[in-house]
Every structure is written in C-alpha cells, then in structure tokens.
Structure 1
Amino acid sequence: MKIVVIGGNGLVGRQIVALLNERGHEAVAASRATGVDIVSGTGLDAALAGADVVVDASNSAAPYGEPSYDFFSQGARHLLAAEARAGVRHHVAISVVGTDRLRNSPYFRGKGAAEDMIRASGIPYTILHATQFYEFLLAIVEAGGVSGQALRLSPAYIQPVASTDVAEAMVQIALDPPRNTTLEMAGPERERMSDIVKRFLNDLESPVDVLIDEHAPYFGAVLEEHSLVPCDAAHRCPVGFATWLQGSEYAKANW
C-alpha cells in the first residue's frame, strides 16, 4: 500500500514514515524539503499519484496569528482537492484535543476549519485529536515569552503524550479502514500546565520562574481549566512524563 505522509520530515511525520516502511508499506515523505507545498498546492499531484492513503502530519511553522490560520485552511483545501483527483481512499489527519473549544485562536481556528473541510470533502477519513506532545513543552515556554526571569503560564490542565505513542497510533489508523469520525488520545497523567512546565524547566536547571496567570494566552487563546483535556473515552497512552524525560535529549544526564 502506498501511503503519502504530508509533513513527513517533521517530528511525528518522520516516525510514521519509518514505522510504515518497517512494516513493508511504501511510505513517502512529502514536505517543502521534497518540493511539496500544501499552502500553494505545488507538487501535490505528483506526490499523490498512486496513493491509497494520505496522512497529514503537517504543522504551521508560525503557530501565532493569522499565518497559522492560512496554513491550515489553505493547506487542507489544496490537499483534499489533490486527493480527490488522485482517488485517495483514506485521509488521516492529526489535530489537537480542544480544537473545537478554542476557535478564538487563529491557530486552533485554522485547525478547526481544516477539520470541517475534511468532513465535508466526501473522502473517507479519520481524524486523531492528540494532546500536546512532551516535546512541545519547550514551544510552550517560547510562546509564553519570558520577561526577565519570569514566565507567566495558565494553570489549565493538560495531559501530554509522547510523540512516539502518537506516531504508532497514526500508523495503525492509516492501516485500518476509515472511521469517518474523530478519535482522541492522551498521555497517562493530567497536570496543570504551569506545574509540568515548572518541572521541565527545573530539570533543565533553568533560572526561569513560572508564575501562575489565569489570563496568560496559549497560542492566542485564553484557557478554561479543562480546555485542553481529552474526553473520558480517549485512549490513554502508557509513557509518562518522567519516563519520557529520562530518555529525552533534555535529561540532566545528557547535559
């Protein structure tokens, strides 16, 4: 089976490509590095020729402001049109838990617009809503904007997940028949964003102090306490924060 992975050189995409190839499938990474640009549509028809399944693991390079909305909305429009021309039988997309609750953020509004187009496209699909990757904690710090030695973060709950678990799930979804629905998955532990980021920074021996601010924006959205947590039926993955951190490039032993 030929499976094209959009964003196939990214954090999750490259893991998906490797896992699919290990299992004997023809997995093709498509990204700007390979001449494929979903925002403009460049290279899509050639990349999708003969594809049975398309996995969209792409992400906006600029997760702030209207450019992120344009990336997801225009990208989905061009990608789905190319899939229809190629006769793709299953569209698999990774999105974010809480997308439907955070439409005041351009990033999440763009994600939501892309999901709406997927559902209306007529192409069989499966959407996976995953919680934040552990690897994404550093991006949360960068997005929060450190002032002096203080970082203001929301105390909203999050339930992060290992990218390896997400890649495994995406591979299985791609190999299964389309569900025509949205699934959710998360890590095993629920914790306040401010607390887990503080633990992360402490392990990095960072001098930054994490301050709780209920109004601190999260990629343009102000969070309610449960804006980012999964539904009760969500699949819980096994890798916890401490286990992930110990084996990550951020572990103290590696410094």
Structure 2
Amino acid sequence: MMKSALVLTTALLAGAAHADVLGLTAEVGSYSPSADNSSINNHGISKKSADLDGKSGTYFGIAFEHPLPIIPNVRFQSLSLKANGNVDNGSGGSNSAKLDLSHQDYTLYYEFLDGLLWIDLDAGLTLRKFDGSVTIAGSKTDLSDSYPLGYLSGYVTVPGTRLSFGGEVKAGGFDGSSITDTTLKVKYETPFLVGIEGGYRKMNLDLSDIGGKNVKSDFSGVFIGAFVDF
C-alpha cells in the first residue's frame, strides 16, 4: 500500500513539474466538411429542406495560459464555415442558397489537469459569435448572433512519445437555438515546439429566428493543420 501511494505521489509531482507556468499555443489549418440534414425556412413556417455542399474553410486559434489562481485562461478560435446549394421554394421548385456560418469562439477556461499522469483536462465557457449570412435567391440576411456554450477538453499523451489524442466538446444555446460542436484530434509535437494535428469535427447547428429565418444544418468532416506550443 505504501509503495503504491509512493508511486502515485511521484507520478503526480512529475506531472506538476512539467505544468505550464506561462503558455502560448497557436494553431492554423483547413477544415473540409459536408453539410447534411439542412433546412432553411421563414420563422414559424413549415420546414423547407436544403441541398447544400459544404466548402473547405480555414480555422485558426490562439490560447494563453497562466499560473494565476481564480483568473481563467483565455482561448480565441475562428472558423470559416460555408455551404452553397439549393433550397425548396415550396412550389415544387428550388432557389439558390448560400449559407455562411463563419464564427469566432471566445473561451474562458480552467486547467483541472495539466500533464498529470499524462492527462490534460480543461473546462470552461465559450461565447460563439456568428459573423455570416443566409442568402436565398439573391436575398441576403446577415447573421451576427452570439450563443453561450459549455466547453470541455481532454487529451492523453502516449507515455514516452510526443503523440497525444483526445478531443473537445462545446454545447449550448438559448431561445430555441442549440449548438453541439465535437472535435476528435490527434497531435504530434516535434522537439522544436512545432507540431501537426488532424482529426474529425462535427457540428449540429439549429439556429432559430435569424432575421426571421430558422437555419438547421449538420456539418461534419476532417481537418488537418499545424500548431506551435510555447
């Protein structure tokens, strides 16, 4: 029993010794999603299905971590998220449609584990601000709403390597709208602080009353990028 306790204590101290005092991480990459189960309709009117093709877009982000108690860490992320296609016009035909759900995420979070037993675990809150539009048959409606989301991130590093895997979830919404954003990621960091990352990301977006319209779409696909970790 004493031996087991000693091993556990040693492991925890070793993890703490490698915890960030001040940390800065930046990432950039490309996301290639499909757009499924899409619909765009006037608020309160029956659902009109949309046949949309997701477009590849760029993502980037930066996070700053510090050792100050109580004060949360800060993370900013941005994603270009667009789809083009057609939407049912309700008369047996269709109209051209363009969906721009590009957005920025502002996240405040705490580190609950930072390398202890090779595990990183963060949790906090995200404010997602959309900066896009919905265009049907040339008629454009701007989208600039913001939504609060819960944030959870967890990664495990393979012992003796620079390879880690895990993911993050952001979920929430209000006033009839809901968002679930799930990312599964594999990362490899070189000895020179630069690394590569890739994985799969799925977003279920159900946004209510955007300029009088309801927008629903499921984006899912792979991404690949690079990061630096100081």
TM-score tier (shorter)? under 0.3
**Which structure would you say has the larger Rg?**
2
Whichever structure has more helix as a proportion of its residues is: 1
Task: Please state which structure has a larger fraction of its residues in strand.
Answer: 2
Normalised to the residue count of structure 1, the TM-score between the two structures is 0.25
| TM-score when normalising by structure 2 | 0.26
